[in-house]
Amino acid sequence: MKKALITGINGQDGSYLAEFLLDKDYDVHGIIKRNSIPENQTARIQHIYPVIKNNLYHADMCDMSSLLSVVQRVQPDEIYNLAAQSHVRVSFDQPIYTLDAIGRGTLNLLEVVRLTGATSKIYQASSSEMFGNSIDTDGFQRETTPMNPVSPYACAKLLAYNLIKCYRESYGLFAANGILFNHESPRRGTSFVTNKIVIGAVKIKKGLARNLALGNLDSTRDWGHAKDYVKIMWQLLQLDNPGDYVCATGQSHSVRELCDTTFRKLGMDYKEHVFQDPRFLRPAELNDLKGCTKKLAGVIDLNFDYTFDTMIDEMINYWMEKL
């Protein structure tokens, strides 16, 4: 039985990945940051809690000794580093913590593996945010596109990305970067734009709210489904050699289009409800993201279960029932 350790197991991606690995008969372990309300930390993994409850550890990416203790205890075959301060706008409010959790946190993990001589393969959750506003002439971002981060979050992710490459090349660690474009689901944090729009629209439909305040409506994103993407994380660690791969759908939509689609599916017009609130604008914006997966498709069979439309449908159905 293979052992996997997931940092951030209680996040959107961590929870889907844990399910996926349990289905593959992995012994799944996870790191959780302590919170004074423990239920908040396990909300996304309640359904698998009975199976993994003895494999959950309090640790923090900023506390190397806590990582050392977990890695020594679990001796994982595979480590998935998904923990982060993952909100781009918040990274402007908490730049130092964001850098610590993502940049130094990844270095802490790499040093634990190197110094203990562990043979664990490492997956790093790298991000399309690292590209900033660089776009190739064909409109896509790919592995060779220059990386010009425009937020503290993206700067921290780029540091972690480079550390993964550095430790792979310097020490021969099996360390892979998945450069994931935006990925969503009903489990997405409610302050990210997709879930914020779906929840806002459902509330308006049910008469629980009248309006929805958003930031920039003109940026475009390449939105895939988190469940499709966790499978890729695992596949990257099953390759003969570690590498760095873009994971995306290759299609982009604007935030405005997302509003239009969501409100229309609920029989409403977003223009009557959505307004712009400067509080949700960012000091610097990443305008357009669209990923090219040619390199990834060269090493694995790429087929996604969800489309943009079926993903929005799933999110709407979830919140129509829940609210």
Q: Between residues 42 and 151, which has the closer beta carbon with respect to ligand G4F?
A: 151
- With contact defined as beta carbons under 8 Å apart, do 317 and 266 qualify? no
The whole-angstrom separation of Cα 189 and Cα 90 is 13
Of 88, 19, 60, 63, give the one whose Cα is nearest residue 285: 88
**32: helix, coil or strand?**
strand
Establish if 193 lies at the interface with ligand G4F (CB under 6 A).
Answer: yes
Question: Closer to ligand G4F at the Cβ: 269 or 277?
Answer: 277
Active site residue 184: no
Task: Please tell me the count of residues contacting ligand G4F according to CB under 6 A.
Answer: 22
Task: Tell me whether residue 71 or residue 88 sits nearer to ligand G4F (CB atom).
Answer: 88
Q: Of 91, 120, 127, 185, which is the active-site residue? A: 127
Q: Is 78 in the site for ligand G4F (CB under 6 A)?
A: no
Q: Which stretch binds ligand G4F (CB under 6 A): 68-76, 108-116, 186-194, 265-273?
A: 186-194
State in angstroms the smallest separation of the CB of 180 from ligand G4F.
6
Helix (H, G, I), strand (E, B) or coil at 224: strand
Applying CB under 6 A, which part among 63-71, 84-92, 115-123, 202-210 lies near ligand G4F? 84-92
Least Å from the CB of residue 78 to ligand G4F: 21
Catalytic residue list contains 153: yes
Helix (H) or strand (E) holding 307: none
69 binds ligand G4F (CB under 6 A): no
Nearest-CA neighbor of 110 among 46, 145, 42, 161?
A: 161
The answer to whether 174 and 291 are in contact (CB under 8 A) is: no
Options 16, 153, 167, 245, the catalytic residue: 153
H or E element at residue 56: strand 56-58
Site string for ligand G4F, 196-225 (x = CB under 6 A): x-----------------xxx--x-x----
| Among 79, 255, 259, 315, interactor with ligand G4F by CB under 6 A | 255
Which residues between 89 and 148 bind ligand G4F (CB under 6 A)? 89, 127-129
228 part of the interface to ligand G4F, by CB under 6 A = no
Query: CA torsion angle for 183, 277, 213, 192 (degrees, to 10)?
Result: 20
Token output for 85: 């301060």
Nearest residue (CB) to ligand G4F, 123 versus 181 = 181
User: Which residues, 6+ apart, have CB-to-CB distance to 221 below 8 Å?
Assistant: 181, 182, 193, 252, 253, 255, 289
- Cβ contact 178:233 at 8 Å: yes
The whole-angstrom separation of Cα 92 and Cα 280 is 12
Is 318 a known active-site residue? Answer: no
- 20 in contact with ligand G4F (CB under 6 A): no
86 binds ligand G4F (CB under 6 A): yes
CB contact at 8 A, 153 and 88? yes
Among residues 69 and 250, whose Cβ is nearest to ligand G4F?
Answer: 250
DSSP state of 150: -
By CB under 6 A, tell whether 181 contacts ligand G4F. Answer: yes
Q: How far apart are CA 276 and CA 11, in angstroms?
A: 28
Residues in contact with ligand G4F by the rule CB under 6 A: 86, 88-89, 127-129, 181-182, 191-193, 196, 214-216, 219, 221, 255, 280, 282, 285, 289
Q: Which residues are tagged catalytic?
A: 127, 129, 153
